[in-house]
Amino acid sequence: MDLTSEIERETLVVTVNETRIDASVAIQFKDRMRAETNNEFPRIVLNLGKVEFIDSSGLGAIVAAMKQLGADRKLELSELQENVDRVFKLTRMDTIFRIHAKPEDVFAN
């Protein structure tokens, strides 16, 4: 599970360099997210622009990644592809996460 992080304007942007977050890698994803976010950044944006497919296990792993940050830190999402966006909408998880359609939206306002 290849994740890379960049710091921009006090935000940690974690990019998923994989095409799938599915049941076979959900635990790895959660563990890698714990490692990438083992710091003090209050705001983390998970860039899913390369992810073509997510299933309910992958969705659960993103929720787990959010919860393991604790109450004072936020996880936001960006650049959801069509199939990923569908799963968030069907499960109404799009109401739980702040989702940025385009990269420039992440730092708007």
Helix/strand/coil (H, E, C) string of the chain?
CCEEEEEECCEEEEEECCCEECCCCHHHHHHHHHHHCCCCCCEEEEECCCCCEECHHHHHHHHHHHHCCCCCCEEEEECCCHHHHHHHHHCCHHHCCCEECCHHHHHCC
Among the listed residues 7, 23, 35, 101, the single contact to other proteins using CB under 8 A: 23
6 versus 86: smaller Cβ distance to other proteins: 86
Shortest distance (Å) from residue 97 CB to other proteins: 10
Residue 53 sits in the site that holds other proteins (CB under 8 A): yes
Per-residue binder mask for other proteins (CB under 8 A), 83-102, x = binder: x--xx--xxxx-xx------
Residues in the site for other proteins, rule: CB under 8 A?
Answer: 20, 22-24, 53, 55-57, 59-61, 63-64, 66-67, 71, 82-83, 86-87, 90-93, 95-96
